[in-house]
Amino acid sequence: MSATTPIATTNPATGETIRTFEPYDDAEIDRRLARAASAFAGWRRAPLAVRTAAVRRLGDLLDAEKERLGALMTLEMGKPIVAAIEEAAKCATACRYYADNADRLLAPRRIGEGDGAGEVVHQPLGPVLAVMPWNFPFWQVVRFLAPALTAGNVGLLKHSSNVPQCALAIEDLCARAGYPDGVFQTLLVGSAAVARILDDDRIVAATLTGSEGAGRSIAAAAGRNLKKTVLELGGSDPFVVMPSADMVKAVKTAVTARTINNGQSCIAAKRFIVHERIAGEFTTRFVEGMKALRVGDPADPETQLGPLATATLVDELHRQVTESVALGAKLLLGGKRLDRKGAFYAATVIADPPEGSPAASEELFGPAAVIFRARDIDDAIRIANDSPFGLGAAAWTADAAEARRFGLELEAGTVFINGMVASDPRFPFGGIKRSGYGRELASEGLYEFTNTKTIRAGGGITLSE
């Protein structure tokens, strides 16, 4: 969204603006920063059992209210309702992961014995600014807040301007889960306010999930202030299919992996790299699968493909598809806006995009798939890695040696063999190259916003148990 995007709920299935919100003024931002700083002074010293009890209650609330929260996501950004409810339930699993494991993960690590022995502890940093995207409006926030708050930090959320009610709902859930006043707050502000907030001494670090452009400006503002950042940016994940793969499963998964969340997932499979021996069969079956998707109102549980989140996203996707086709890519399906109210784009398949065309080099954020042919495994790995991004990757093969090569040689933060890339609280998640840096989830996500401190004792002092 642009710096001037209004903070509003606009139903993407109809184009109707339902509610608008006044952005917080400087005085309100200042009050919230002050509240965060004073909340941190208490929260950092709260016993770990108090912090894990709060994150467990948050998980329980997310689960108990998943239908209501799912409906809010569907309303504000068009996610099909079944997936929206699942998203709220998945947030609960991340909360429970940290409630169950923080004790073990945050326990001091003792090294050595006697004089000079020491321990390593993880201590919270302070108020962290979280700038988040609309595409998984609960999951992206919870996967930051569950570990960060459990580690003793406090959070300030600047959510996407098109999901203000989701942002306020998360703040409300945190209050009801028992987090003390100021430990988690939402800032209803536009993106233009972010650099100024990052300049404030009360903010110690920032995390962003979003586009490359937002990543560059947040990294620049944080760099100016020497503040730590975690960046989860875009992706153009490869999905490689080798001749030994289970074709039926690979095609079915490929369709889901491309169109999950109406095609707007950072880890959606976007580039399908198929061995030339099976490329014809894969392409025919894949186009059939894309054509068969039920398009419709995201509030209808039968809908498989809903609208994009905004009309601007439709314009951008259409530009990328038409430019790629004009440069010589083959259009096999779709390639047009749907003739109905709302931000709908047809399921689209293009093949053999020329080097440098948008389909070959940019992230397509919508239901548009790109198919490439590979001569052999070396060629498949070369095409897969020929991307500025490195978020996720999938490879389909029945050959263990090939699987190992894909696992080790694909340039990505996560590689799935014979499956669809997905996040899971037990595994670290993040990217390399222009997909960003840092990790979320698992122990890595818990430690990102901590001071890993070494304490060593001599002179006859033994560090207490």
Per-residue binding string, ligand NAP, 4-43, x by CB under 6 A, is -x--------------------------------------
- Residue 209 touches ligand NAP, criterion: CB under 6 A: yes
- Residue 310 touches ligand NAP, criterion: CB under 6 A: no
What is the size of the binding site for ligand NAP (CB under 6 A)? 33
Closest to 16 (Cα-Cα) out of 354, 216, 307, 274: 307
- Residue 132 touches ligand NAP, criterion: CB under 6 A: yes
Candidate segments 14-22, 211-219, 345-353, 451-459, binder of ligand NAP by CB under 6 A: 211-219
Angle 136-173-78 from CA coordinates, rounded to 5°: 30
- Residue 365 touches ligand NAP, criterion: CB under 6 A: yes
Which lies closer to ligand NAP via its Cβ, residue 158 or residue 285?
158
Contacts of ligand NAP in 267-306 (CB under 6 A): none
Q: Is the dihedral angle over the CA atoms 34, 38, 43, 45 positive or is it negative?
A: positive
Candidate segments 100-108, 169-177, 228-236, 379-387, binder of ligand NAP by CB under 6 A: 228-236
Contacts of ligand NAP in 149-168 (CB under 6 A): 158-161
- Residue 439 touches ligand NAP, criterion: CB under 6 A: no
- Residue 448 touches ligand NAP, criterion: CB under 6 A: no
Which lies closer to ligand NAP via its Cβ, residue 159 or residue 258?
159
- Residue 237 touches ligand NAP, criterion: CB under 6 A: no
Q: Which residues are catalytic?
A: 232, 266
Q: Which of 152, 238, 334, 431 binds ligand NAP (CB under 6 A)?
A: 431
- Residue 133 touches ligand NAP, criterion: CB under 6 A: yes
> Which residues here bind ligand NAP, judged by CB under 6 A?
1, 5, 131-135, 140, 158-161, 190-191, 194, 209-211, 213-214, 217-218, 232-235, 266, 363, 365, 391, 431, 435-436
